[in-house]
């Protein structure tokens, strides 16, 4: 590590987890909560009668563990259950112009919004209004649009199945398929890439598979921070002797060493457990190349007569193997090594480890999907698994780590801009109207329509749309072009402050809070990363008596917008069982929905590949070759580095809980650029220098941000900065052409030292 002392930057030498995690949990609770309720509240997370943790989508075995929370789950819960309130008085005292000066951290930290609020341009403040007045105004503006496609209906993945389904039905009856959602910025490459390869856009493993696997390959995800409960699973696997091979440009501490904070004996006696058996610091954007190298090595061994392929599986269950293998034979090792920054011998080693394993799981996250080649990255992972029949047998399969706690469920119950015709027929049967034909807008297309002035109303079911998107400048402009923005949220965020003509904030009940409707207390349901659906019931007193549930607010907006609606909104809201009956009518996979969620732990949705059923066009799994090894010459050039954007340990997407990133050794600041010692030297820089980071995409060079360059263990040629601060460097249309996912994790940039 470089000599110079940089404020807030120290090396972190301890393992991840451990006492530090317990301490941080206690601090989060003390800072945010009504302390009296906290221990009981935390114990209710992910229990049969408790609420689903809003932190991440990692499942829990049978939902019966006694102590299933983690540091970041506790932060997510306490952030929602905070004592702090954003009241009409708060809004009266702060103009929108003044609030815009505050950081994202400060905005959310003001607390829970207590009343429906509408923007008043005369005073430049938000003013309270009655719920019915809010619904009436939204209905009026929506009905006035000359074309329903001038409205965009955004969903963030914390919404329950019930809320997401009603949102889908409302907007389709209104007449549009414009469903931008957070998944478009997240696992869209999975949703597009996997159906082509294995017939379903979801993971195929269950938690039990981790008890039987012999090898885990973890690519492009940071579970110590983003899926901390997965660390318990990885930790058990490591102690069982399972080989864990990591591909990540950054050395992430939790993937190196971890002490389970739920296991005090280990913390005292052993200290910690080594997680990764080998750690490959692949270049940013180099994963498909690395996978190609591993598979080339496997084919070479098969060609030499070694029994490394599952030939029976390939013959019975797959298509396209010969052409795929031939493409690998023709690919030159030098091209692979250049593209991924790893050596042939390292990849040979991985191939041998893979060949020895009888049951392999590949897990992956945003490091794989948020690239111009995201869909192809995902398909190369599927192909690697197909070579040895690693689908539909215990201990094997593909494990995309979904983001938001119910993002997968949102998709299952209809949040998609590309609805399938079977669903249309079922909606018609269940509700008596037929949704509009054709495809609507995804997240990027929605913002493009807003920027072009073609979309005039944006209704957001959660999230922070404009800050999550790339190209912050353009997103701001898109927001300011709106006639009306409607935000169903728990907390104040920047999207509320980017106002065109009108803006209305509708404060919602959080997942931790009691939801009482005409027939009594209600549960909602969610689907985790492993297709398990279960109930979630809030227990806390709502943050304000004026809050309404997401389903109730959607129904209110729907009734005000569509007076002749075919849907019995009032009846559905009175009893969420009736919403679930309708979900089952439209999506038959939810057979006996209400009965099955009453079993502790819920139920699993059907997953073809887990039974070797392939719902592809050919009826078989497909080997899809990767053709894009060579870099686009327009995006390379002298001194161009690849910037990836990361979450810190103290944030939930655009929600910044605090300014520390403990495991990466950054404290009290977020304005840093992670860069290798090698690149510091090559760029004539010193640890601690302030640099201008400029987009190197032709036509986008004017995008600049300033950061402090700090030496970090990261692959040469690759650099890292925090999301959302670096989003302005990513052009809106710089995306994976197949899935539309923004390429947030491979931005070509140049650095210049600020004098």
Ligand X SMILES: Nc1nc2c(c(=O)[nH]1)N[C@H]1C(S)=C(S)[C@@H](COP(=O)(O)OP(=O)(O)OC[C@H]3O[C@@H](n4cnc5c(=O)[nH]c(N)nc54)[C@H](O)[C@@H]3O)O[C@H]1N2
Q: Does 744 bind ligand X (CB under 6 A)?
A: yes
CA count, 13 A, side-chain hemisphere, 583:
32
Q: Does 646 bind ligand X (CB under 6 A)?
A: yes
Selected binder of Mo ion within 169, 186, 282, 383 (CB under 5 A): 186
Give min distance, CB of 513 to ligand X, in A: 9
* DSSP state, residue 141: H
Q: Take residue 51 and report the two structure tokens written for it.
A: 């609420």
Judged by CB under 5 A, the stretch of 29-37, 181-189, 423-431, 738-746 that binds Mo ion is 181-189
Give min distance, CB of 393 to ligand X, in A: 26
SS3 515: coil
Judged by CB under 5 A, the stretch of 25-33, 145-153, 403-411, 629-637 that binds Mo ion is 403-411
Q: Does 223 bind Mo ion (CB under 5 A)?
A: no
Q: Take residue 336 and report the two structure tokens written for it.
A: 């692979």
| Closer residue to ligand X (CB): 3 or 545 | 545
- How many C-beta atoms lie closer than 10 Å to residue 493's C-beta? 23
Q: In this structure, what are the phi and psi dihedrals at residue 155, rounded to the nearest 5 degrees?
A: -125, 130
Q: Does 685 bind ligand X (CB under 6 A)?
A: no
User: What span, in angstroms and rounded, lies between the C-alpha atoms of 379 and 85?
Assistant: 46
Give the Å distances, CA to CA, from 399 to 143, 189, 394, 639.
43, 14, 13, 36
Give min distance, CB of 566 to ligand X, in A: 26
Give the Å distances, CA to CA, from 559 to 143, 502, 548, 567.
12, 20, 15, 9
Diameter over CA atoms, the chain: 79
| Closer residue to ligand X (CB): 221 or 620 | 221
User: What span, in angstroms and rounded, lies between the C-alpha atoms of 704 and 566?
Assistant: 51
| Chain centroid offset of residue 172 CA | 25
User: What span, in angstroms and rounded, lies between the C-alpha atoms of 301 and 114?
Assistant: 64
Judged by CB under 6 A, the stretch of 87-95, 364-372, 429-437, 554-562 that binds ligand X is 364-372
Beta bridge partners of 491: 112
Q: Does 55 bind Mo ion (CB under 5 A)?
A: no
| Closer residue to ligand X (CB): 248 or 708 | 248
Q: In this structure, what are the phi and psi dihedrals at residue 156, rounded to the nearest 5 degrees?
A: -105, 145
Give the Å distances, CA to CA, from 202 to 195, 313, 329.
8, 21, 30
Beta bridge partners of 753: 691
Say if residue 555 is preceded by a cis peptide, omega within 30 of 0.
no
| Closer residue to Mo ion (CB): 18 or 157 | 157
User: What span, in angstroms and rounded, lies between the C-alpha atoms of 128 and 86?
Assistant: 12
| Closer residue to ligand X (CB): 373 or 596 | 373
Q: What is the DSSP string of 206-228?
A: -TTHHHH-SEEEEES--HHHH-H
Give min distance, CB of 368 to ligand X, in A: 6
Q: Does 222 bind ligand X (CB under 6 A)?
A: yes
Q: Take residue 32 and report the two structure tokens written for it.
A: 């945010």
Q: Does 554 bind Mo ion (CB under 5 A)?
A: no
| Closer residue to Mo ion (CB): 186 or 346 | 186
Q: Does 660 bind ligand X (CB under 6 A)?
A: no
Give min distance, CB of 608 to ligand X, in A: 24
Q: Does 654 bind ligand X (CB under 6 A)?
A: yes
Residue carrying structure tokens 């075919």: 566
Site for ligand X in 99-128 (CB under 6 A): 108
Judged by CB under 5 A, the stretch of 178-186, 266-274, 489-497, 597-605 that binds Mo ion is 178-186
Q: Take residue 56 and report the two structure tokens written for it.
A: 């991440």
Site for ligand X in 697-726 (CB under 6 A): 723-724, 726
Binding flags for ligand X, 404-433, as an x/- string (CB under 6 A): x-----------------------------
Strands 215-219 and 243-247: parallel
SS3 504: strand
Q: Does 225 bind ligand X (CB under 6 A)?
A: yes
Binding flags for Mo ion, 130-169, as an x/- string (CB under 5 A): ----------------------------------------
User: What span, in angstroms and rounded, lies between the C-alpha atoms of 606 and 200?
Assistant: 10
| Closer residue to ligand X (CB): 198 or 526 | 526
Q: 618: exposed, middle or buried (C-beta count within 10 Å: 0-12, 13-18, 19+)?
A: exposed
Q: Does 490 bind ligand X (CB under 6 A)?
A: yes
Q: Does 258 bind ligand X (CB under 6 A)?
A: no
| Chain centroid offset of residue 77 CA | 18
Sheet holding 532-536, edge to edge: 524-527, 532-536, 603-604
| Closer residue to ligand X (CB): 389 or 720 | 720
Binding flags for Mo ion, 516-545, as an x/- string (CB under 5 A): ------------------------------
CB-based contacts of 105: which residues, under 8 Å, 6+ apart?
Answer: 656, 657, 658, 659
Judged by CB under 5 A, the stretch of 186-194, 437-445, 582-590, 608-616 that binds Mo ion is 186-194
Q: Are the CB atoms for 494 and 104 separated by under 8 Å?
A: yes
| Closer residue to ligand X (CB): 17 or 403 | 403
Q: Take residue 552 and report the two structure tokens written for it.
A: 């109730």
Q: Does 282 bind ligand X (CB under 6 A)?
A: yes
Q: Take residue 746 and report the two structure tokens written for it.
A: 């491979």
Selected binder of ligand X within 252, 256, 513, 713 (CB under 6 A): 252
Site for ligand X in 450-489 (CB under 6 A): 461-465, 468, 488-489
Q: Pick what 414 binds: ligand X, Mo ion, none; C-beta below 5 to 8 Å, kind-dependent.
A: none
- Torsion, Cα 738 744 749 752, to 10 degrees, reads 170
| Closer residue to ligand X (CB): 387 or 509 | 509
Judged by CB under 6 A, the stretch of 130-138, 214-222, 447-455, 678-686 that binds ligand X is 214-222
| Closer residue to ligand X (CB): 308 or 497 | 497
Selected binder of ligand X within 94, 158, 235, 620 (CB under 6 A): 158
Residue carrying structure tokens 């000066």: 101
| Closer residue to Mo ion (CB): 203 or 436 | 203
User: What span, in angstroms and rounded, lies between the C-alpha atoms of 563 and 42?
Assistant: 42
Q: Does 400 bind ligand X (CB under 6 A)?
A: no
Q: Is the dihedral of CA 199, 200, 205, 206 positive or negative?
A: negative
Q: Does 374 bind Mo ion (CB under 5 A)?
A: no
Q: Pick what 550 binds: Mo ion, ligand X, none; C-beta below 5 to 8 Å, kind-dependent.
A: ligand X
Q: Pick what 56 binds: ligand X, Mo ion, none; C-beta below 5 to 8 Å, kind-dependent.
A: ligand X
Q: Does 458 bind Mo ion (CB under 5 A)?
A: no
Q: Are the CB atoms for 465 and 458 separated by under 8 Å?
A: yes
Q: In this structure, what are the phi and psi dihedrals at residue 22, rounded to the nearest 5 degrees?
A: -65, -40
Size of site (CB under 5 A) for Mo ion: 2
User: What span, in angstroms and rounded, lies between the C-alpha atoms of 157 and 491?
Assistant: 16
Beta bridge partners of 718: 642
Q: Pick what 38 binds: Mo ion, ligand X, none; C-beta below 5 to 8 Å, kind-dependent.
A: none
Selected binder of ligand X within 63, 647, 670, 703 (CB under 6 A): 647
Give min distance, CB of 187 to ligand X, in A: 7
Give min distance, CB of 184 to ligand X, in A: 9
Ranges of beta strands (E only) in 281-371 are: 318-319, 360-364
Give min distance, CB of 718 to ligand X, in A: 7
| Closer residue to ligand X (CB): 221 or 317 | 221
Interface contacts to ligand X, rule CB under 6 A: 55-56, 72, 108, 156, 158, 182, 185-186, 219-222, 225-226, 247-250, 252, 282, 284-285, 287, 365-367, 370, 401, 403-404, 461-465, 468, 488-491, 493, 508, 510-511, 550, 644-647, 651-655, 723-724, 726-727, 744-745
Interface contacts to Mo ion, rule CB under 5 A: 186, 403
């Amino acid at each position: 590590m470089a000599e110079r002392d940089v404020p807030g930057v120290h090396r972190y030498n301890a393992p991840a987890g451990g006492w530090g995690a317990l301490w941080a949990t206690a601090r989060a609770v003390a800072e945010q909560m009504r302390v009296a309720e906290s221990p009981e509240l935390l114990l209710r997370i992910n229990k049969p009668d408790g609420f689903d943790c809003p932190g991440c989508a990692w499942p829990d075995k049978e939902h019966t563990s006694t102590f299933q929370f983690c540091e970041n789950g506790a932060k997510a819960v306490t952030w929602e259950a905070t004592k702090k309130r954003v009241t009409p008085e708060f809004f009266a005292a702060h103009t929108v112009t003044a609030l815009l000066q505050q950081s994202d951290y400060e905005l959310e930290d003001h607390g829970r919004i207590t009343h429906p609020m509408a923007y008043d341009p005369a005073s430049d403040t938000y003013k309270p209004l009655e719920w019915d007045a809010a619904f009436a105004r939204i209905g009026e503006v929506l009905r006035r649009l000359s074309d329903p496609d001038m409205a965009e209906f955004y969903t963030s993945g914390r919404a329950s199945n019930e809320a997401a389904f009603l949102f889908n039905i409302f907007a389709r009856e209104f007449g549009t398929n414009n469903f931008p959602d957070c998944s478009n910025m997240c696992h869209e490459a999975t949703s597009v890439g996997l159906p082509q390869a294995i017939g379903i856009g979801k993971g195929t493993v269950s938690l039990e598979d981790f008890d039987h696997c012999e090898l885990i390959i973890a690519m492009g995800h940071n579970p110590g921070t983003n899926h901390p409960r997965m660390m318990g699973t990885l930790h058990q696997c490591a102690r069982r002797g399972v080989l864990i091979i990591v591909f990540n440009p950054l050395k992430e501490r939790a993937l190196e060493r971890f002490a389970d904070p739920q296991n005090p004996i280990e913390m005292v006696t052993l200290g910690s457990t080594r997680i990764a058996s080998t750690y490959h610091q692949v270049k940013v954007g180099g994963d498909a190349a690395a996978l190609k190298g591993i598979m080339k090595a496997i084919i070479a061994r098969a060609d030499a007569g070694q029994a490394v392929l599952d030939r029976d599986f390939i013959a019975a269950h797959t298509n396209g193997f010969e052409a795929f293998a031939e493409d690998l034979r023709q690919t030159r090792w030098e091209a692979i090594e250049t593209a991924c920054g790893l050596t042939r011998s390292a990849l040979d080693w991985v191939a041998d480890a893979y060949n020895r394993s009888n049951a392999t799981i590949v897990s992956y996250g945003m490091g794989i999907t948020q690239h111009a080649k995201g869909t192809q990255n995902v398909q190369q992972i599927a192909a690697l698994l197909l070579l040895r029949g690693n689908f539909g047998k215990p201990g094997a399969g593909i494990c995309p780590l979904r983001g938001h706690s119910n993002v997968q469920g949102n998709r299952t119950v209809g949040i998609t801009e590309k609805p399938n015709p079977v669903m249309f027929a079922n909606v018609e049967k269940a509700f008596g109207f037929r949704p509009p034909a054709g495809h609507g807008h995804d997240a990027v297309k929605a913002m493009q329509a807003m920027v072009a002035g073609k979309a005039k109303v944006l209704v957001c079911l959660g999230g922070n749309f404009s800050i999550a998107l790339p190209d912050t400048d353009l997103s701001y402009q898109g927001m300011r072009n709106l006639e009306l923005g409607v935000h169903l949220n728990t907390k104040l965020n920047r999207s509320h402050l980017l106002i065109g003509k009108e803006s209305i904030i509708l404060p919602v009940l959080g997942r931790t809070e009691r939801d009482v409707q005409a027939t009594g207390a209600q549960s909602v349901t969610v689907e985790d990363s492993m297709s398990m659906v279960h109930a979630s019931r809030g227990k806390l007193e709502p943050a304000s008596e004026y809050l309404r549930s997401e389903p109730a607010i959607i129904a209110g907006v729907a009734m005000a917008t569509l007076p002749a609606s075919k849907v019995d909104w009032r009846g559905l809201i009175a009893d969420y069982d009736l919403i679930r009956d309708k979900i089952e009518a439209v999506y038959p996979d939810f057979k006996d929905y209400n009965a099955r969620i009453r079993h502790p732990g819920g139920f699993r949705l059907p997953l073809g590949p887990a039974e070797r059923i392939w719902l592809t066009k050919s009826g078989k799994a497909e080997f899809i070759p990767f053709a894009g090894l060579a870099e686009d010459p327009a995006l390379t050039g002298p001194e161009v580095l690849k910037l990836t954007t990361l979450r810190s340990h103290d944030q939930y997407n655009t929600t910044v809980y605090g300014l520390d990133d403990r495991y990466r050794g950054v404290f009290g600041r977020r304005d840093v650029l992670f860069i290798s010692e090698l690149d510091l030297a090559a760029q004539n820089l010193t640890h601690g220098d302030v640099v201008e980071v400029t987009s190197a995409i032709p036509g986008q060079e004017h995008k600049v941000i300033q950061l402090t360059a700090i030496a970090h263990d990261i692959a040469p040629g690759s650099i890292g900065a925090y999301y959302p601060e670096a989003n302005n460097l990513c052009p809106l249309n710089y995306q994976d052409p197949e899935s539309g996912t923004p390429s947030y994790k491979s931005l070509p940039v140049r650095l210049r030292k600020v004098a």
